[in-house]
Amino acid sequence: MSQAPSEKALVPFVSVENMMRLVHHVGIERMLLELTDAVEADFRRWEIFDKTPRIASHSRDGVIELMPTSDGVTYGFKYVNGHPKNLAEGLQTVTALGLLAEVSSGYPVLLTEMTLLTALRTAATSAMAARHLAPSNAKTMAMIGNGAQAEFQALAMKAVVGIEAVRLYDIDPRATAKTARNLAGSGLAVTSCRSAQNAIEGAEIVTTCTADKQFATILTDNMIGAGIHINAIGGDCPGKTELHRDILFRADTFVEYPPQTRVEGEIQQMAPDYPVTELWRVVRGEAAGRRDARALEGHGFLPGYRHHRRSGRSARSVRHAAAREGISRGPAPPRRAASSAAASLGIDRSLGFRDRSSRQPKAVPRMPGRRFRTPQRLPG
């Protein structure tokens, strides 16, 4: 008679379909709010994590990346690809999955889809940055680039920061129409705009999420006035940016992990000694975030160096809700797997800007031929 396998050999698995069921069960805004709190909890213990820049394998067809991290109790990594050409073949341009394991035994305790989870985490991390860096009375957000991430960004800012309106712009009107349609009934006032400049009018928070793999200029210095929080999340590889470097010269810049951000973030345009503040120090109260109402704060979570974090109660509640919905396969993982490192699957780059001047935006000349593509891959 053969011996039954160890319970540790039965790894719980969360599929894309069941992840969607879980989101509907919990509620999208509640999930984004809890994920934001979980991300912030891990930022408060930033120094204990084993932080490794993402491992990327580039080819002519796209990129495949691994994003590992550990807090000494649990270890996790995310696998994610980016293949823009897939869209023409009827395939997703991004897919992702993650694995969580015990450090003590090396046994995996969770295998999960992370395509949808990536979108949720990226939005939650952006909202956490805005919680600390955006104007306290921010009510309007501009969303430039209306691809797969746009709705999640808007809903996270609504749930966490309390925005009431979102202004949309994309060079592809179909993308803007898609985003507006998906946000209908969300409680947000949605405006479709004719240009990036039009979109940022009256917005206290500006998020850019575009896909051109080049030194693009989505926002120029003369477009940005005092008091704006910029969340630039599209620059996810060397040679890819969204902001004109002159914006950085007059801004205070916040990053998550300088070794990665200086290679792939907006500050790859700047000198190696360009001053930055690490976001975890702001979260812990060791460094100032927004100092005054006129400060131009921008915090961009650049998806090249990502993390997927669920911690403490949120990690347990997600797993327990999954079990209630019949999502898990095999026995529940050991309780310690629900530590706040439980879903630290990779680490995100982050970038923030705070204007040191009181300058108001100048008129912006038309720039014929300047275009950007909407990302079909999910940042993060």
Total residue count of the chain as it appears in this document = 380
Segment (H or E) for 282: helix 279-283
Burial (CB count within 10 angstroms: exposed 0-12, middle 13-18, buried 19+), residue 298: buried
**b vs e for 91-114, b when ≥16 Cβ sit within 10 Å of the residue's Cβ?**
eebbbbbbbbbbeeeebbbbbbbb
Catalytic annotation, pick one of 42, 236, 348, 355: 236
CB 176 within 8 A of CB 170: yes
* Residues in CB range of 359: below 8 A, 6 or more apart: 225, 226, 250
Within 10 Å of residue 367's Cβ, how many Cβ atoms?
12
Rounded CA gap, 88 and 81, in Å?
16
* Residues in CB range of 37: below 8 A, 6 or more apart: 314
**b vs e for 19-58, b when ≥16 Cβ sit within 10 Å of the residue's Cβ?**
bebbbeebebeebbbbbbbbbbbbbeebeebebbbbebee
> If DSSP codes are grouped into helix, strand and coil, which group holds residue 355?
strand
CB 314 within 8 A of CB 37: yes
Whether 236 is catalytic: yes
> If DSSP codes are grouped into helix, strand and coil, which group holds residue 299?
strand
Rounded CA gap, 329 and 317, in Å?
17
Rounded CA gap, 371 and 366, in Å?
12
Half-sphere exposure at residue 313, Cβ-oriented, CA atoms within 13 angstroms? 6
Any idea of the CA torsion for 104, 109, 113, 114, to the nearest 10 degrees?
A: -30
Among 216, 223, 206, 239, which Cα is nearest to 352's?
Answer: 206
Segment (H or E) for 300: strand 298-300
For the annotated catalytic residues, the residue numbers are 236
